[in-house]
Amino acid sequence: MAKSLLFLFLFHLLLSCKSGGHLKFAKGLEIVNTTWCIANPSASEVALRNNIDYACNMLGDCKMIQPGGSCYDPNNLFNHASAIMNQYYAINGRNNWNCDFTGSGIIVTSEPSYGSCKYA
């Protein structure tokens, strides 16, 4: 029993460390994220376009924000930038610095998913 509790504690600690210090909580068997990265509403169009270009280049795939993709609609710069910035943030460990984007990204604690656009 004590070994099982120790294992669970260490497993939870490992998940917390892997998430850039942000805690993740288990909901049943599903791991639920507690932070997401979105575009700062006051960021310039140029900054958001640069963020999309950078994140798409680093990820190698931006199908989610292209026509027919799960995050294409609504077709606007803020939503496209937010979706791809969050994907970059999530894949790179959810560290604060992975959402900075030269000050044009912000970390939120309310899940921004909508419709078919699911934020990881």
pLDDT reported for residue 12? 43
Work out the angle between the directed axes of helices 45-59 and 77-91 (0-180°, nearest 10): 40
Q: List the Cα angle 20/21/26 in 5-degree steps.
A: 100
β-pair partners for 32: 25
What predicted TM-score, i.e. pTM, was given to this entire model?
Answer: 0.74
Mean local confidence (pLDDT), 104-118: 96
pLDDT (tens digit per residue) in 49-107: 999 999 999 999 999 999 999 999 999 999 999 999 999 999 999 999 999 999 999 99
Are 119 and 110 in contact, with CB atoms under 8 Å apart? Answer: no
pLDDT (tens digit per residue) in 4-55: 433 333 344 444 444 444 445 455 555 566 899 999 999 999 999 999 999 9
The domains of the chain are located at 1-32, 35-120
